């Protein structure tokens, strides 16, 4: 990787991590940038997963108060997330670079559509959960659903957080701050096991991942500081435009 490539990837990681802190959808920025640098999509996906993980740690720290007293949910969220993340990562490894390159444009499109549905989903969850008691521990139906979400997250990742919010709302949680905290925790578990498997199988471009880690940490911190000042609507619209543009580019580029 040239110094210019490393710099561009670092800036993309900073922007993606900041977007994650403000509105989510950072992978839709980092993944296309890595591919644009000449990295095959499978390696780009694995490298992006590793690079954005440190930024999520800062987000979890910001939600630590919302997770206090919810040990059953924290543990109940971790186990299916780890299992699903491992299954998704193994599925990605079995898919192979050529096949993944053919399906990845549609994964990006699906993640963009999920991102577009985030606002209506949150409004629906708030209305549907009104007056319903939240369960003290994850029901078995949730565990099964979270394994499925974790599998998707380990395979690609973009949009997994929105799916987690939907599952949490369907099982009765109504506190959006607690739900966001659990979403971040679940994402950390999914990406941790996926990153370990990707690294062990040699599909992470480490110079790029390490450079992006620096950008991820800076962007995560800066995004948290800007979250109350920058309108989420503007950021979300920008991410949707980036996602749709990435879909068209990935669909038409030579594989």
**Sequential DSSP letters for 213-224:** HHHHHHHHHHHH
Strand ranges inside the chain, DSSP E: none
Amino acid 142: pLDDT: 84
Q: Which residue has the higher pLDDT, 237 or 79?
A: 79
Lowest mean pLDDT among 37-46, 127-136, 146-155: 127-136
Amino acid 204: pLDDT: 93
Q: What is the CA radius of gyration of the chain?
A: 17
Please report, for the chain, the start and end positions of each structural domain, with discontinuous segments joined by +: 3-252
- Overall pTM surpassing 0.85 (yes/no): no
Q: Which residue has the higher pLDDT, 46 or 58?
A: 46
82 backbone dihedrals φ, ψ, rounded to 5°: -65, -45
């Amino acid at each position: 990787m040239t110094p210019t490539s490393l710099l561009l990837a670092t800036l993309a990681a900073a922007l993606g991590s900041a977007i994650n802190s403000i509105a989510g959808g950072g992978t839709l920025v980092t993944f296309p940038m890595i591919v644009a640098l000449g990295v095959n999509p499978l390696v780009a996906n694995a490298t992006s997963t590793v690079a954005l993980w440190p930024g999520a740690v800062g987000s979890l720290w910001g939600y630590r108060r919302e997770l206090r007293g919810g040990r059953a949910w924290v543990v109940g969220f971790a186990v299916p997330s780890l299992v699903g993340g491992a299954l998704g990562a193994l599925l990605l490894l079995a898919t192979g670079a050529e096949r993944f390159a053919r399906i990845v444009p549609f994964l990006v499109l699906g993640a963009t559509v999920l991102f577009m549905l985030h606002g209506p989903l949150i409004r629906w969850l708030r209305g549907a959960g009104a007056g319903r008691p939240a369960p003290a521990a994850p029901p078995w139906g949730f565990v099964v659903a979270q394994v499925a979400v974790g599998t998707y997250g380990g395979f690609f990742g973009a949009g997994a957080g929105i799916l987690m919010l939907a599952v949490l709302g369907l099982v009765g949680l109504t506190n959006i701050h607690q739900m966001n905290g659990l979403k971040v925790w679940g994402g950390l578990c999914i990406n941790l096991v996926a990153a370990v498997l990707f690294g062990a199988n040699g599909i992470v471009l480490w110079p790029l991942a390490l450079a992006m880690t620096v950008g991820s940490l800076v962007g995560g911190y800066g995004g948290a500081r800007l979250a109350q000042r920058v309108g989420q609507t503007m950021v979300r619209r920008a991410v949707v435009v980036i996602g749709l543009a990435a879909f068209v580019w990935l669909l038409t580029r030579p594989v």
